[in-house]
């Protein structure tokens, strides 16, 4: 029992050491740099000269891509004759055109469904014919089996009758 408790204590100690090392590995660098920065700021605050920055101003969007600044909607598509013609159409004309387009799509869908339905009917008819052939063959086999069974019963009766006669005449049999 003491070996179990010793191994349990050793395992707990190893887990605690692993947890401490992991925590220091994760948090240690951040704490180190924060501590180092606070020490540097406290000791060299008076001796550090102000920074002189002679950097150019950041580039504006107008200088990078001048075409992006002209985003007015008034002249949008004014160079495209097809777009201009489309925009000049009346709202009713646009709705009529949309309805015609939807009608043609619906007709195409209906035609496709009719073709699919006709194919399904053809395949179902073919399966029905095959099932009828199978049923007819099964009935024929069943009739033949019944006739064979009746013949077998009749043959057994004859065999039994002849065997009885043979035994009456002195045949010993097998």
**Interatomic CA distance for residues 150 and 156, integer angstroms:** 10
What is the tally of helices (H) and strands (E) in the chain? 4, 0
Q: How confident is the model over 57-80, as a mean pLDDT?
A: 64
pTM of the shown model: 0.35
Give the per-residue pLDDT at 162.
Answer: 94
CA proximity to 73, closest of 87, 93, 61, 59: 87
Tokens of 115: 């073709």
Domain boundaries, the chain: 91-174
Percent of the chain with pLDDT strictly greater than 70: 79
pLDDT at 127 over 60: yes
Which residues have CB under 8 Å from 71's CB, separation 6+?
none
């Amino acid at each position: 029992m003491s070996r179990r408790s010793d191994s349990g204590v050793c395992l707990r100690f190893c887990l605690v050491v692993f947890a401490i090392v992991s925590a220091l590995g994760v948090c240690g660098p951040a704490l180190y740099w924060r501590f180092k920065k606070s020490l540097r700021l406290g000791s060299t605050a008076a001796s550090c000269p102000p920074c002189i920055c002679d950097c150019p101003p950041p580039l504006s969007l107008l200088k990078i891509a001048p075409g992006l600044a002209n985003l007015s909607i008034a002249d949008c598509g004014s160079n495209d004759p097809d777009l201009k013609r489309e925009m000049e159409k009346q709202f009713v004309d646009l709705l009529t055109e949309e309805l015609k387009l939807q009608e043609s799509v619906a007709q195409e869908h209906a035609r496709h469904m009719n073709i699919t339905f006709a194919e399904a009917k053809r395949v179902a008819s073919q399966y029905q014919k095959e099932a009828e052939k199978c049923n007819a063959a099964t009935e024929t086999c069943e009739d033949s089996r019944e006739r064979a069974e009746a013949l077998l019963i009749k043959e057994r009766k004859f065999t039994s009758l002849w065997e009885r006669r043979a035994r009456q005449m002195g045949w010993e049999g097998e």
